Structure 1
Amino acid sequence: MKFSGAMVAGIALLLSLGTASAAAADPEPESAQAQILATNFQLPFPCGQAWTGNSNQSSAHQSYEIDFNRGSTAGADLGDTVVAAASGTVAISAHQGSTNGFGNLVKIDHGSGWSTYYAHLNVRSVSAGQSVSQGQKIGTVGNTSRPGNNISPHLHYEVRQGTGYPANVRQAVFNGTTFGYPNQTLTSRNCGGAATNPYTAEEVCGSGYKVIDSAALGTSGTVYLLYNSGNGNNCVTTLKKTSLGTATATSAYLEVQGSARKTDSGNFAYYAGPVTAAAPGKCVKWGGKAGSSVYDSPFEHCGS
């Protein structure tokens, strides 16, 4: 799925507020929804990993708390890396002992009253008062809790705003989209906010497509031409390298010789496309734009 600026705001509003219409305006600048979208939380695991979250399988849960696991056995996640869902300052890094059931807990403050909690950690990798960046390792998945409380390894994750538990627990938002309560499996887009796009050209175009050509768009991105030998279709997508997660002007096009050009153009967070077309025995022209850089091919790759 492609994340344009409009989609990110629209999907999150519809899912978390439940009352917005498709034509609803963007959230008010100081609203709670605007603040959580601006914080841009990501899944608390390394880029590309798939994790399943559940909010309804623990009698200890209040409101929108989530337990995360992956793997086929109860202990499969023990020791797996946990990362910061957003940048901020570590407010707590301590074993809670008999105080509660959190065991090893890291709490990160993100400003505007927002904070995230990472509980039951096996190891804590950060200290109170430390500044952390989004995607930075803060610990590992564990099963620590209060004495005598035997639990299987998992990450207990919460988003809170302000004080007054459990009323201050908020719905979790990852990559601009509200978590699909009560349970959902997600792939992490927590890629450190740096120069790694979490998507590949093959992922955008779909199963069976292989890259046959590409062109750099300066430092802003790369446009790819792919071919699917199973159905004879070509596909073009432009993947961004900068301003990842922020909707900026990006485009991709594919033109089969003798037919009208097909274009996907707009403000997108990660990529433009896929643009697909069948070109049996014909040449294609393809290209795209990211930032200020543009690529336009000649008619080529005839018959493929």
Structure 2
Amino acid sequence: MASASVVTAGPTFQLPFPCGETWVGNSKSRAHTAGNEIDFNGSAGDGNGDLGRTVVAAAAGTVVMSEYRTTDGFGNVVKIRHSDGSVTLYAHLNARSVAKGATVAQGQKIGTVGKTSEKYTMLAHLHYEQRTSSGSIVPATFNGVRFRYPNQTLTSKNCGGGERPTPTPTPTPPPSNGGNPYSGTEVCGAGFKQIDSATLGSAGRVVLLYSASSGQNCVVTLRNGTSGKAAMRAYLEVEGQARKTAQGSFQYYAGPVRAKAARTCIKWGGAIGSAKYDSPREHCD
């Protein structure tokens, strides 16, 4: 057996799972085009047993993509750009925990394992890639050692204390523009947890929450600027049902809009002024 090659340039990537967890990586999927992509499962042949397990950042960086994609079959996908320009990609996520533009630390939760895709039918797993700054998919390294293709079982050393994101200065808002005192959880109520979000330019964001106990989704649009009022909208459309919308002139938020959608596809979104977000058909599990 060839000895493992040690890599020292660039960030020291760690396994994209919490410290101490053991995962099986495999690169043999017929959907892989470069041969360096890795599909991770918690154990061989575990079916959908990994659905909803935590996915973390392999290294610190900036989120350059957090969206649901249809054309390439990635479904819910997050991309993170790192200090040397390299990129890591995390696909088929059941839920995304970070938005585009966010800075993340190594080991920070960015989503959960899923099986989302408009192109492929699959069991739950994490599709993972390491890419160069130009987009080429390269052999992955974890803890400075190249992954032993085509498959290898690894235990995560993503235990904190690694590379941290470069701090981004927090802009000082104008005196008349205090912070919004509300969060999505406060507006939707106890038991709701955020599972997705989308930015509305500099105006604010729209968030999607879910309550496991009630099987309800909830959508709220939140302003960044809170002086005066603005035209705002929040909506939720459960597949097979009429769209529910809250809109008007509000100071802090539009919504909440709630509907039961357990194991049912939805569309959701919102707007503040001319800035708007409309999701694709998603969150079907």
Secondary structure at the counterpart of residue 144 of structure 1: coil
The amino acid that maps onto 2:114 is: G
The amino acid that maps onto 1:155 is: L
Deviation at 1:70, TM superposition (A): 1.2
- The aligned counterpart of 1:172 is 140
TM-score, with structure 1 as normaliser:
0.50
Alignment of 1:267-282 (within 5 A): none
Secondary structure at the counterpart of residue 9 of structure 2: helix
8 Å contact 1:49–1:188 — kept in the other structure? yes
C-alpha distance in structure 1 between counterparts of 2:76 and 2:124, whole Å: 12
**Matching residue within 31, 54, 68 for 1:81:** 54
- The aligned counterpart of 2:161 is 193
The amino acid that maps onto 1:35 is: A
The amino acid that maps onto 2:14 is: Q
C-alpha distance in structure 2 between counterparts of 1:173 and 1:66, whole Å: 11
8 Å contact 2:8–2:144 — kept in the other structure? no
C-alpha distance in structure 1 between counterparts of 2:41 and 2:30, whole Å: 13
C-alpha distance in structure 2 between counterparts of 1:174 and 1:160, whole Å: 14
Per-residue Cα deviation, 1:123-150 (whole angstroms, up to 9, x for no partner): 0000000000000000000000125x31
8 Å contact 1:12–1:173 — kept in the other structure? no
8 Å contact 1:55–1:61 — kept in the other structure? no
C-alpha distance in structure 2 between counterparts of 1:152 and 1:60, whole Å: 16
8 Å contact 2:19–2:158 — kept in the other structure? yes
2:134 is the counterpart of 1:163: yes
- The aligned counterpart of 1:46 is 18
Secondary structure at the counterpart of residue 57 of structure 1: coil
2:122 is the counterpart of 1:151: yes
Deviation at 1:107, TM superposition (A): 0.1
Deviation at 1:192, TM superposition (A): 1.4
- The aligned counterpart of 1:99 is 71
Secondary structure at the counterpart of residue 46 of structure 1: coil
The amino acid that maps onto 1:45 is: F
Task: State the identity %.
Answer: 54
C-alpha distance in structure 1 between counterparts of 2:32 and 2:19, whole Å: 29
**Matching residue within 115, 126, 134 for 2:98:** 126
Deviation at 1:151, TM superposition (A): 1.1
- The aligned counterpart of 1:23 is none
C-alpha distance in structure 1 between counterparts of 2:47 and 2:29, whole Å: 14
Following superposition, which runs of at least 4 residues in structure 1 exceed 6 angstroms of deviation?
none
In structure 2, the gaps of 5 or more residues are 163-285
TM-score, with structure 2 as normaliser:
0.53
C-alpha distance in structure 2 between counterparts of 1:73 and 1:186, whole Å: 16
Secondary structure at the counterpart of residue 35 of structure 1: coil
8 Å contact 1:106–1:118 — kept in the other structure? yes
Alignment of 1:131-142 (within 5 A): 131-142=103-114
- The aligned counterpart of 2:35 is 63
Secondary structure at the counterpart of residue 20 of structure 2: coil
Deviation at 1:73, TM superposition (A): 2.4
The amino acid that maps onto 1:12 is: S
- The aligned counterpart of 2:270 is none
8 Å contact 2:4–2:148 — kept in the other structure? no
C-alpha distance in structure 2 between counterparts of 1:158 and 1:143, whole Å: 16
Deviation at 1:11, TM superposition (A): 4.8
8 Å contact 2:66–2:76 — kept in the other structure? yes
Secondary structure at the counterpart of residue 24 of structure 2: strand
**Matching residue within 105, 113, 116 for 2:85:** 113
The amino acid that maps onto 1:77 is: D
- The aligned counterpart of 1:12 is 5
C-alpha distance in structure 2 between counterparts of 1:82 and 1:190, whole Å: 11
In structure 2, relative to structure 1, the CA distance for the partners of 1:178 and 1:60 (3 Å cut) is: closer
Per-residue Cα deviation, 1:21-66 (whole angstroms, up to 9, x for no partner): xxxxxxxxxxxx5433xx0000000000000000113333422000
- The aligned counterpart of 1:183 is 151
- The aligned counterpart of 2:189 is none
